[in-house]
Structure 1
């Protein structure tokens, strides 16, 4: 199947006919949302489907179409960030309605997605939320960070999470967390849904990305296999290239096979490229990434791919190994991919080019560090930023001499930069909150003064407490907020004539 084309074809965002709303027949309010899979089946959350005995399913994008009753065909209840899926069957089929395309893809970080839910007050019109995918939470659920629009909240459960690029449904919303304005939510991806409800395989396109040659083997553990499994699972370490040569390929195949059955995080794609052209390999990558490609897949890879973990076995047995390295490997490295390149011949002519690609991965990471450290220095050249700048200079000098000595140091340095960025962001948050609170306090004081309470002793005590809380070092935002709110409340009492003391 061509990436970007589902069974129902492309459809404009916001007009997807597969969107449904679930109610309890005869009662007000909305239970949640769902995804139409064909003329008579709907996917939703188990906790939504089990919330009422008499379910009514409404076609949101087709106003005027009467609601249909529905019953549960299969379901798996939620438990410890797992499950929470249900398949429904409509009493009244909906022929002619464009169903969703469920797609199993590499769940790359920062992929842009959207969903429509029906929160309180917006049950009839619905609300759109845009998010970016983040990491896994527990064994199956995937975190989503709010990116704009309405926050995911009660009323979004069961909503299809659609890829912004092609409209394919990547999962359904299962939970949310909105305390203190955080705006986090979680979805269960299609692959996990299919594991719970194998019947859904008839509606799913895409696959787990692992070639049968890796899975159909009696795999065994040893120290090298464990080391390779560890490397495949360290997505947080960032882009890198690992070369595996000769007999070591047997250990690589064992590592992939064991990861594919859940022993550790599996690669997004593991393919044997013997005899394949660069375009054929690119097509597998584009398809697994869920990217839109209306022309050459190789051109689409060159344009950039999500940061994926990809195992390419038999590079030297491909139709054109050099083209594979230059036209697929190089742009993927630039996009932050983690690539394992397998060579069957230790004397292969293109091993030198592969080693150069591994060096390029190190240089790319260092260049990215330069931009991040420079941003820290430009904003506030404190001790932490200065130490990072000096450390980065030392890493770049070492890489110019022997990049292999630097490669293993990159993940630790990346974490150090991330820690400094988070601390800087936390300080900015405190400063911003304090600025808002000082503004509120100044407003309260001005209101009191304008009403003739400038010399009020009680208000003065509240004002001094609030200023003390705001000027404390270190400041406690909760205490400062409480002090400002107490001052505001005291001013309101004075202005309304109560508690004139």
Structure 2
């Protein structure tokens, strides 16, 4: 089972020898590439016992390259008798996997008995190293409480059903955590920030979310670990203090459809070393995605290659020695509809105020303006469909949008930056609700 993007757990008797190179496949998600793995120092948790003889039988595997696309197991150290659990294995003849249910028996000792409903549901070869999972509850996903290690039958027959009595056995996560600092850290209450994961997943997946998002992710926190598993969803990742702006500009231009022969003009402009590219005479203008922060930022004859906004993550903006030029580059990318996630190590870190005033504030207002245009169109289209467009009704066709425009104007009159942000976000939430009621699908 995968426990983070770099680490998996299995039985030591599956690996056989501590210097083996294993091939890890993701049987439940064929889109994730298989990867080689090996036991790192301190990962061989065996005390001289063989399969079925008791003692530890666990190997920690370090993947040779990370797999953040795979969802890691949620580890749970609590375990009690009678808990309903399941395990999925790949026994001979069941290449697509088979899942078995049972209940936790006695919880004393290093190995815990797992009672199956029938002997046919006792684990067998092909289950070693499988995660033993709790039954999902209301709003609570399954947790992994242990690792399948063996089964035993009272008559020594090869199949559980050929014995009079047969039981499965697991090693609890709590015991593995005692043996492995890695598992101890990953099974702690602060190992992950799942609420943050859900919010950030929504942001990546929904282009109607705020186009610029600022978040604080302290080093070494569960929030940090959760972020690492989501960075693969970004089109571009910039490491504060470690990446280069010219590289970011170059990679960003790979996502922008610009006129032939104009690469250097756009590259120079993005880096602030050249003027804004001019309009090419006689060619139609393309609209670059969502409305820019201002009309002056509109760049003719260039648009995102994909139909959606390109996502940039700046991981550690306050670790950038000079954040100002980077923020200006991001502001220019906003004119092409790029979305930006700005990650700070500490609240109020270097570049915080500039990111708020140059990127976040204008982006929220531009997003509100775009939603207002959509709401007006949706209201007018609905009126046309219902046949209410006449001289007497024209004034009330976009009544809701007109009210929202008044709220938008009040934001322009607000002096305090924090109040402007709060009111912008509130207006965006209101507009999204209005659009859902109007049947708008974006």
In the superposition, the TM-score normalised over structure 1's length comes to 0.34
- Provide TM-score, normalisation by structure 2: 0.38
Name the structure where helix makes up a greater proportion of residues.
1
